Structure 1
Amino acid sequence: MSIVQNIAEIKKKIDINKVKLVAVTKNHSATAMLEAIAAGVTSVGENRVQEMLLKHPEILAAGKQVEWHLIGHLQTNKVRQAVPLADLIHSVDSERLAVEINKAAGKLGKRQDVLLQVNVADEESKFGIEPGQALQLAKQLSQLEHVRLCGLMTIAPYAEDPETARPVFREFYQLFGELKSLQLANTDIRWLSMGMTNDYLVAVEEGANMVRIGTGIFGSRQY
């Protein structure tokens, strides 16, 4: 199916007034992104800062305004490039990274919205802070003047059967509730980013209000 048809199918399955759809554009062209935007996508997600730097001016030149989400691992040496462009950074997993974001945002007079990336399934191959450390890191972020913590992000282990991810998402939703209950100052805890092409329907059933879909919109990545 086409990009337009794929987006229409997703909209039939989830209420995009309640669940934010982030179209993951890794290894896809600005032309494909513009097709998705024309079909109603308002938020795009990039895994790499370099791709965001390349595509951002192309989308602007086309006269389109979208939210830019950085969803991939962010190295501290890329922070100064990422902060001017990113509306939301999903992948904060250390105080050191948060401090660097705070410095870069301060120089721009910006308050950078971020999510904590949590490795809820404790996979060695994935980035993210351990669940038991998440609330403490959240407290540390709430002290930073130019960072605003807006919620949590996780990546469930991939499996052919999306039901395999349900316990992971359920546990993560509980952690999200604990974070909200802290009522930390200088935060806006509202986004629970979990669920991708293979498992987003299960994620939404378990409380996700932000899903990150790439292949389900654009098809297989072009390398």
Structure 2
Amino acid sequence: MSVQENLQTVRQNIDKAKAGALKPSDSLELVAVSKTYGAEIIQEVIDEGQRVFGENRVQEAQGKWPELKSKNAGIELHLIGPLQSNKTADALELFDVIESVDREKIARSIAKNLKRSANVRNCLFRSIRG
């Protein structure tokens, strides 16, 4: 199955699920997980209109997303995996959304590093106990 066919199938399945839902939501958004895929394949998905992507490793994302984001307007990149405190500054520079902050240490590191970077618009916190 080609990238285009796969993406079309996923979008059709989302539309079917929305149609069958008790409370359909127009605010549903597909986050295409691009981990382990190279920039060439990701570019094909971008060319098909996908603009929101998820990566779970900061280092892997650093190797492909700066160029992809510079060549393609309107890309939103989510960090979908756990964040290590030593990668916080890099994550804030690259990602638009950090989806899971699961430790107080990470929250503090984000707060400290946000003073240097205004890039991240959203952080989603899991229950932090401390």
TM-score by length of 2: 0.82
Deviations 1:149-202 (A, max 9, x none): xxxxxxxxxxxxxxxxxxxxxxxxxxxxxxxxxxxxxxxxxxxxxxxxxxxxxx
- Does residue 1:107 correspond to 2:98, yes or no? no
C-alpha distance in 1, partners of 2:119/2:91?
A: 13
1:81-96 equivalent positions in 2, closer than 5 A: 81-96=90-105
CA 1:41–1:101 in structure 2 vs 1: closer, same or farther (change >3 Å)? same
| One-letter amino acid of the structure 2 residue matched with residue 47 of structure 1 | N
Residue 96 of structure 1: how far off its partner (Å): 1.3
- 1:54 equivalent in structure 2: 63
- Within the alignment, does 1:97 sit opposite 2:91 as a pair? no
Alignment-derived partner of residue 9 in structure 2: 9
Residues 95, 120 of structure 2: 8 Å contact kept: no
RMSD: 2.2
What is the CA deviation profile of residues 115-167 of structure 1, one whole-angstrom value per residue up to 9, with x for unaligned ones? 124xxxxxxxxxxxxxxxx2xx49x9xxxxxxxxxxxxxxxxxxxxxxxxxxx
Structure-2 change in CA distance of 1:110 and 1:34 (3 Å):
closer
1:72 aligns to what SS in structure 2? coil
Query: Closer, same or farther in 2 for the Cα pair 1:22/1:91, shift >3 Å?
Result: same
> Could you tell me how far apart the structure 2 residues matched to 1:21 and 1:7 are?
10
Write the mapping of 1:142-181 to structure 2, written as runs, cut at 5 A: none
- Is 1:25–1:46's contact at 8 Å kept on the other side of the alignment? yes
Q: What residue is the counterpart of 1:19 in the other structure?
A: 28
Shift of 1:108: 2.2
Residue 58 of structure 1, CA deviation:
2.3
Name the CA distance, whole Å, in 1 between partners of 2:120 and 2:80.
18
> What amino acid maps onto 2:14 in structure 1?
I
The 3 A distance-change label for structure 1 pair 25 and 109 is: closer
Unaligned runs of 5+ in 1: 118-133, 141-223
User: Relative to structure 1, is the Cα distance of residues 67 and 109 closer, same or farther in structure 2, using a 3 angstrom cutoff?
Assistant: closer
Letter of the structure 1 residue corresponding to residue 64 of structure 2: K
**Cα displacement (A) at 1:103:** 0.9
Cα 1:70–1:111 shift into 2, 3 Å: closer
Identity of aligned residues (%): 37
Q: Which amino acid aligns with 1:2?
A: S
Per-residue Cα deviation, 1:47-80 (whole angstroms, up to 9, x for no partner): 1101111112220353443101011111000001
CA offsets, 1:191-216, max 9 Å, x none?
A: xxxxxxxxxxxxxxxxxxxxxxxxxx
Does 1:33 pair with 2:48? no
Pairwise mapping of residues 67-216 of structure 1 onto structure 2 (< 5 A)? 67-109=76-118, 112-117=121-126, 134=127, 137=128
**Cα separation, 1, equivalents of 2:74 and 2:119:** 19
**Counterpart Cα distance in 2 of 1:98 and 1:66:** 25
